[in-house]
Structure 1
Amino acid sequence: MPEPVGAHRPLFVTGAVLGEGPDAAVPVHYGAPLREQRRLLDRRAVVDLGQLELLEVRGTDARTWMTTITSQVLAGTPVGSSASLAVLSPQGRVEHLASSVVLEEEALLLILDAGARAGLRRYLEMMRFAARVELIDRDDLRVLGALAPAAEVLPGLGLPDPVAVWAEPWPQVAPGGVAYGPDPEDPVGAVLTVLDAAALRGLPWAGEQLAGMSSWEALRIADHRARAAREIDERTIPHELDLLRTAVHTAKGCYRGQETVAKVLNLGQPPRRLVMLHLDGSQDLPVGVGGEVRLGGADGKAVGTVTSSALHADLGPIALAVVRRAVPLDAPLSVGVAVADSSGEDRVTWVDAAQEPIVVARDHGERPATAKL
């Protein structure tokens, strides 16, 4: 297996198959994806999330400053507390999405998807003005994902003390948040443990202690959790992905994009909505990211795009897709899959899909008390 160089080399490479796109630096699996997923569910394995990027915001004004320029309240929260946050455009579109942990009274650690740090850092530097803050790239750290803190999952490995542990009680609505749909069935959540990268590399890793990204993505999709590198595009507003549940505080002071958040929440509906798809597995055709979603079969109307897909150990093939708001919640859908025919030419085969609603239309007869215009 060709091995990436530098800080993002996999922790364990025996049997590893590298991923693609934003996950190209870490294994998608180690040879037994479903067994790995079972170990992850049983809290006996962790996932190497070395592709994630970390940015520390440190200084006297760090938390108050981040509160004013993001969608979340970070000032006054306890040391060690976790949150999700977004940076929105003036039109309310999602430009950046991050997980944050309060390291100290004057320091935050932001955990970002692969390739996202440079853009967020540029924005923060532009907005710094006279704020007493410092931005520090933390390439000396690495993230492990699991369903509990990594030291609890692998107590005998000799893991170093964590620099930070991020966890939020998903799908519980955070303070100031608003749910845009039903809770997922049997959610498992996610815990990100941030540790010293050099110390991790020196440990005696074994294959049964690790699960690949295919396992992590399957659990994320089943939990209805949007990911920056997959679900967000240039048109996304938070309501479409149920980000108001945890990443947007609707009762805080002014921040960029607040007007769109409040108007759509109080008066309108988002133009698109996130949905989970249960895919017909009888054709044994892997549905890829970017697959077209149609209402009905091959002759139906194009209504959306697959953003994430995975094989779940219990649910079978599942996916997330962003579809038009007007698509009925119970309508049968189909997803296009490119398949090479006998001549080597690609043809599109259509896979049936049933919807599991994530974002639904809000009843504006009773407006949330926290929403402000």
Structure 2
Amino acid sequence: MTAGAAPFFADRAGAVASDDGIAHFGDPVREQRRLAAGEAVVPRDDRAVIEVEGPDRLTWLDSITSQALRALAPGTPTELLVLDPNGRVEHAAGVLDDGVSTWLIADAGDVAGLAKWLTMMRFRSRVEVRVRDDLAVLGYTELGTAEKTVALIAHRPHDLPLVWGDPWREVAIGGWQYAAAPAHPGAHYTWIEAIVERQALATLADVELAGLLAAEALRIAAWRPRWGREVDERAIPHEYDWLRTAVHLDKGCYRGQETVAKVHNLGHPPRRLTLLHLDGSDSVLPEPGTPVLLASSGDEASEVGHITSSARHHELGPIALAVLARRVPADATLEIRTDGSRIAAAQEIIVPADAGATAEVPRLTRLSRRPLAQQPPTT
């Protein structure tokens, strides 16, 4: 949540608050099913909005981020990453342009830092950057009553409704997918986030609501990374299969591009994101940051990664996203130890160990090491 902002709908019956907003409204599993069916709306207290105005906004954002934005058409959703000079992820945001302003939707914990960095990078560009605390974000899935309801109140300062469809459902132009799954779960992740005025939330008094736990479960099941959960100080986009939607591999230069190209073409990401199916017999969910261990019968075990997100999915049961070392075998038996419990975990591979090294580098003929006097004469 942004500083000083009260959670949306905190006074709704059954509302249970968390640090990020409303975790649920009394029945997390039912809320998740309704959300997946497009019949419920999630108040996204954990998301916030930045507006970028000015005639140079798209060419400027294109030059300093991972995404190709120069020709972004109004109403076309995409996303971007801000990388440091070594290619590590610093910021992430969904992007929507309405022909006059570019709107960035980011995790609330990242908004202040992202806005500050953008402001510092303006130089002579004709742009203005503003955090819009007067606006809120609502999340839902498409093709249900929730979509129709929220569409009526979506903010439209320049005629176009500010409704961002998550591009995760398919590989973006200029992107690349490492996941080798025959049916990527992201294809069914029809997630939408609408920007609305805070004062318009009062019109949703009779709308069915779902909490953040429901939204997180659907996201994790879709293998969808986010800044506020998966990203740490070592993160590079390749480790999360984020080249899929947030990086354009054929655009011009930007900060961190050298690392992006080098790892993708010649190397392998040092870590890899995986989905873990957890043994639910103890009804314990590991917290983010909990170590992932190679299974062992003794007290000592080798740590090979950590949990980034976890949830109870209404169909899959307890699941988690984890970042593991690339060397961990795909068939390794893993476990998580938390609250006195040992939780067995089975991998569903997202980023394979051989991700990257996509360039077809011709093999050069090895030169003879014989002294020149012993080499056959040339004609």
TM-score by length of 2: 0.87
SS in 2 for 1:239: helix
Sequence identity, in percent? 46
Distance 1:304 1:368, change over 3 A: same
Determine the C-alpha separation between the residues in 2 that align with 1:97 and 1:85.
6
Q: Is 1:290 the counterpart of 2:289 in the alignment?
A: yes
Alpha carbons 2:115, 2:131 under 8 Å: kept: no
Determine the C-alpha separation between the residues in 2 that align with 1:170 and 1:139.
26
In the TM superposition, what whole-angstrom CA distance separates every residue of 1:6-43 from its partner, at most 9, and x where no partner exists?
A: 543322521111123xx1xx211111000001100111
Determine the C-alpha separation between the residues in 2 that align with 1:132 and 1:204.
38
* 1:163-174 alignment runs, 5 A limit: 163=156, 164-174=162-172
Determine the C-alpha separation between the residues in 2 that align with 1:100 and 1:292.
33
Distance 1:78 1:58, change over 3 A: same
Distance 1:366 1:241, change over 3 A: closer
Alpha carbons 1:157, 1:203 under 8 Å: kept: no
Determine the C-alpha separation between the residues in 2 that align with 1:139 and 1:235.
30
Deviation of the 1:157 alpha carbon:
7.8
- Out of 222-231 and 181-190, give the one that drifted further: 181-190
Determine the C-alpha separation between the residues in 1 that align with 2:115 and 2:189.
31
* 1:1-373 alignment runs, 5 A limit: 7-12=5-10, 13-20=12-19, 23=20, 26-104=21-99, 106-148=100-142, 152-153=145-146, 155=148, 159-163=152-156, 164-183=162-181, 184-185=184-185, 187-200=188-201, 202-206=202-206, 209-297=208-296, 298-338=299-339, 348-362=340-354, 366-367=358-359
RMSD after superposition? 2.2
- Out of 311-320 and 355-364, give the one that drifted further: 355-364
Rg larger in structure: 2
Q: Which runs of 5+ in 2 are unaligned?
A: 157-161, 362-379
- Out of 112-121 and 82-91, give the one that drifted further: 112-121
Q: Which amino acid aligns with 1:263?
A: K
Alpha carbons 2:241, 2:351 under 8 Å: kept: yes
TM-score by length of 1: 0.88
In the TM superposition, what whole-angstrom CA distance separates every residue of 1:237-258 from its partner, at most 9, and x where no partner exists?
A: 1100111000010100000000
Distance 1:157 1:135, change over 3 A: closer
Deviation of the 1:261 alpha carbon:
0.3
Deviation of the 1:197 alpha carbon:
1.2
Determine the C-alpha separation between the residues in 2 that align with 1:316 and 1:80.
36
Determine the C-alpha separation between the residues in 2 that align with 1:363 and 1:308.
22
Deviation of the 1:299 alpha carbon:
3.3
Determine the C-alpha separation between the residues in 2 that align with 1:279 and 1:290.
16
Distance 1:142 1:299, change over 3 A: same
Distance 1:187 1:299, change over 3 A: farther
Alpha carbons 2:79, 2:167 under 8 Å: kept: no
Deviation of the 1:287 alpha carbon:
1.8
Alpha carbons 1:51, 1:114 under 8 Å: kept: yes
Q: Which amino acid aligns with 1:181?
A: A
